[in-house]
Homo-oligomer: A and B are copies of this chain.
Amino acid sequence: MNADLSRRLLRDMIRIRAVEEGIVTRYSQQKMRCPVHLSVGQEGPSVAVGAVLRPTDLAVSGHRAHAHYLAKGGDLPAMIAEIYGKATGCCSGKGGSMHLVDERVGFMGSTAIVGGTVPVGVGLALAKSLGAGDDIVCIFIGDAVLETGVFYESASFAVLRQLPVLFLCENNLYSVYSPLSVRQPEGRSLAGVAAGIGLGTSSGNGNDVAEAYDLIAAAVAKIRSGGGPQFVELATYRWREHCGPLFDNDIGYRTVEEFEDWKARDPIAAFTARLFAVKTIDDKWLAAEGAAIDGEIEAAFRFAEQSPFPEPSERFSDLYAA
């Protein structure tokens, strides 16, 4: 992996983490009045995909989409403004955190129904397949999506038609507070089910961004060269509560040990150390990037705070084409 790419991956992770922490800091002000599902701790897969995909590749996602949106190149101020419910938000305030869109960079939409955008992504790939080119569609899914019938139906159709789809599964062990054990049979892996459906599959450590990058790059290369839809499962872990800014290790659905164990495998710390060791980065780089990111984020929050709310009459607009 070349140094530029390494630095990009690290920078993107730091940036996404900082954005999420920016939300954490301000959330209790009750100005962001919508549910937020943060990706703190699981930035690896997103930035790896972001570095593999082209702007003309498309992506769709679900409720936990900030990282996906940003990694795909989505407009940060527009995202923050959306979470603040402002007219300048990427959905003009209609959607909130669970509905993000930035078509200019191919982020076609994230929605709040688990599995809901999976067929949408496959349909986008169907449309791509009817045209020319080798663009692909990335469908971001959590582990719970594998439980939905619509995933099975959609993935089957993607296999049947050999559509250019990447199913990027972040397996963070939980669906809300429910562990995999109440949802997945013992001994059955997510990638195993996906393989049974006929998807090409690979699995790896999502907290090792370089490993994630390599797996994704390989999968995407296969898709582009007509190898059919691929499923990449990346193990990772969300640090904070399912929804909201706090930690929730106290409520008992997971152990502090498990949490600490995963925290020790912080994708950012690990990759920082690695890049330090090989001298790809130094303190100065880190400080400069950190400062730039902080400035960008401050500006984004300022933009959001200072933006106007949508006019009340807008509550009726956008239902049908004019």
A56 within 8 A of B: no
Most buried by B among A149, A184, A188: A149
Give chain B residues whose Cβ lies under 8 Å from the Cβ of A151.
149
Q: Which of A66-74, A193-201, A266-274 contacts B (4 or more CB under 8 A)?
A: A193-201
Q: Which of A152-160, A215-223, A234-242, A277-285 contacts B (4 or more CB under 8 A)?
A: A152-160
Q: Which B residue's beta carbon lies closest to that of A186?
A: B160
Instruction: Choose among B149, B160, B185, B192 the residue that contacts A152 (Cβ–Cβ < 8 A).
Output: B149
A183 within 8 A of B: yes
With both chains docked as a complex, state the minimum distance between the C-beta of A7 and any C-beta of chain B, in angstroms. 40
A148 within 8 A of B: yes
A314 within 8 A of B: no
Task: Please report the total number of A residues contacting B with Cβ < 8 Å.
Answer: 22
Main secondary structure of the interface of A (DSSP, over half): helix
Q: Which B residue's beta carbon lies closest to that of A115?
A: B149
Q: Which B residue's beta carbon lies closest to that of A158?
A: B185
Instruction: Choose among B148, B184, B197 the residue that contacts A193 (Cβ–Cβ < 8 A).
Output: B197
A147 within 8 A of B: yes
Give chain B residues whose Cβ lies under 8 Å from the Cβ of A149.
148-153
Q: Which parts of A142-187 form the interface with B (CB within 8 Å)? A: 147-153, 156, 159-160, 182-185, 187
Report how far A198 CA is from B146 CA in the complex, Å: 13
Q: Which B residue's beta carbon lies closest to that of A184?
A: B160
Supposing A185-B198, A197-B196 touch, asked if A153 and B147 sit within 8 A by C-beta, the answer is yes
Most buried by B among A151, A152, A195: A152
In contact, A153 and B148 (Cβ under 8 angstroms) = yes
In contact, A183 and B196 (Cβ under 8 angstroms) = no
Report how far A240 CA is from B185 CA in the complex, Å: 40
In contact, A159 and B147 (Cβ under 8 angstroms) = no
Give chain B residues whose Cβ lies under 8 Å from the Cβ of A193.
196-198
In contact, B198 and A195 (Cβ under 8 angstroms) = no
Supposing A149-B152, A152-B149, A152-B152 touch, asked if A183 and B160 sit within 8 A by C-beta, the answer is yes
With both chains docked as a complex, state the minimum distance between the C-beta of A13 and any C-beta of chain B, in angstroms. 33
Give chain B residues whose Cβ lies under 8 Å from the Cβ of A184.
160
Give chain B residues whose Cβ lies under 8 Å from the Cβ of A148.
149, 153
Report how far A182 CA is from B151 CA in the complex, Å: 19
Give chain B residues whose Cβ lies under 8 Å from the Cβ of A150.
149
Q: Which parts of A194-210 form the interface with B (CB within 8 Å)? A: 195-198
Residues of A within 8 A of B (CB): 147-153, 156, 159-160, 182-185, 187-188, 192-193, 195-198
- Can you identify 10 A-B contacts, CB atoms within 8 angstroms? A148-B149, A148-B153, A149-B152, A152-B153, A159-B188, A160-B184, A187-B198, A188-B198, A192-B196, A196-B197
